[in-house]
Amino acid sequence: MKKAQKHEVQVSGSQVRYMADKHLLTPIADRLVKSPVGVLHIKANSLGISHLGVAKEGVELLKEDGGERFESALQHLSQLEVELQEYFSGTRQEFNVSLAPKGTEFQAQVWQALTELGYGRTCSYGDIAEKIKRPKAVRAVGAANGANPIAIIVPCHRVIGKNGKLTGYAYGLNMKQQLLSLEGESSGS
């Protein structure tokens, strides 16, 4: 049996673990949370939050299985719920909940760079590519941004076009604009 590879990246005070062991990263608890941008679906495993996105219509919550790992996942969900309320009320600019998304090392670099982009700041894919010292990887940065499983906390909504205009967003340009307006966005890093 292969030993799990582990890559750790510090993200805005949150410990993010990228591990090859998919069993540990499988969500075991989830919750629906009402927000000003719609109902959010958050998922967690015992290591941290693994997903944050807009809930799909008719979404079914995971079956609760109890146990120590499940209790740990519930703690992450509860912490994030409080932090999201604070974010949407304008009293929180950084998240402290532990994160545990599935991703490659390259995606981890992109997501890390996104979290280092301050609250209310925007940048382009090219800016992120430069930041991670991969200036020719603009398209790959765009793909990693689009694969981000943890919206808002890993703030892919802060990426705009090189020309300063809004570009695509998994949950629609309306939500992207709402988040940027909430943060009082300004260009630059």
User: Which residues partner with 186 through β-bridges?
Assistant: 121
Q: Give the per-residue SS3 of the chain.
A: CCCCCEEEEEECCEEEEEECCHHHHCCCEEEEEEECCEEEEEEEECCEEEEEEECCCCCCCCCCCCCHHHHHHHHHHHHHHHHHHHHHHCCCCCCCCCECCCCCHHHHHHHHHHHCCCCCEEECHHHHHHHCCCCCCHHHHHHHHHCCCECCCCCHHHECCCCCCCCCCCCCHHHHHHHHHHHCCEEEC
* CATH classification for the domain delimited by 105-183, as one of 3.10.450.50, 1.10.10.10, 1.20.120.1200, 3.30.360.10: 1.10.10.10
Catalytic residue list: 156
Of the segments 62-76, 105-119, 131-145, which one has the largest average pLDDT value?
A: 131-145
The predicted structure's pLDDT at residue 187: 53
Nearest to 47 by CA among 99, 111, 83: 99
Q: Does the predicted TM-score (pTM) go above 0.85?
A: no
pLDDT, residue 24, reads 59
Residue 22 burial (10 A CB sphere; 0-12, 13-18, 19+): exposed
| pLDDT bracket for residue 22 (50, 70, 90) | low
Q: What is the pLDDT of residue 31?
A: 93
pLDDT at residue 46, as a whole number:
87
Q: Compare 13 and 63 and report the one with higher pLDDT.
A: 63
Return the pLDDT at 149. Answer: 95
> What are the phi and psi torsion angles at 94 (to 5°)?
-130, 150
Q: What is the pLDDT of residue 185?
A: 66
pLDDT, tens only, 42-82: 999 888 999 999 999 888 887 776 677 788 899 999 999 99
Do 76 and 59 form a contact (C-beta atoms < 8 A)? no
Q: What confidence category does residue 186 fall into, taking pLDDT thresholds of 50, 70 and 90? A: low
